[in-house]
Amino acid sequence: MGIGWGHKFLLTTVVITRTLDDVAKKLQAEVHKRKPFASLEQEVFLNILRTADLLDQGLEEVLKPFALTATQYNVLRILRGAGERGLACRELGERMLTHDPDVTRLLDRLERRGLIHRRREVQDRRVITTRITPDGMTLLNQLDTAVTELHRHQLGHLGEEPLRTLIELLEGARGTRS
């Protein structure tokens, strides 16, 4: 005789609760926190921050030999995706993964390195379009495999279904879930 739906639900709830308790204890130990978290939401928030920081550290290590930050790498990828059309500074800022209050200075640094170029548009002199240069494309092409391998190493052990679930949960937390 098989396990009924109610028993399966109870078993699943117990497993999830125990797993969450183990995760909570792990984060508490990592940050040397003696008291329990104030709320489940606080614990989730801190787990997200801690995990994002660890993932970002891995990316920074891959980018370090190329004297590139994660934000600069993000801008180059956005410009590669924009193609020949390029993007205005405002559009670039909207597409960036992390907020940067000084996109102009960020672009200045990339332009000094010859990875991007900017040009004032003839039709509307107020608009300055930014495009990736061949050197910028070469740099991204050199990084593509290393970054893909890093992501596989960091997250591949979770498996496809848990990764898809994680995407849904994170999109829900951002309020962009459709």
Token pair, residue 172, equals 């829900």
State pLDDT tens for residues 84-108.
999 998 888 889 988 877 888 999 9
Its pTM surpasses 0.85: no
Q: What is the mean pLDDT of residues 4-22?
A: 48
Indicate the DSSP class of residue 122.
S
Q: Which two tokens stand for residue 80?
A: 């590669």
- Which residue shows structure tokens 């390029």? 86
What CATH number labels 67-132?
1.10.10.10
Domain spans, the chain: 1-35, 67-132
CB 66 within 8 A of CB 142: yes
Token pair in block for residue 64: 């370090």
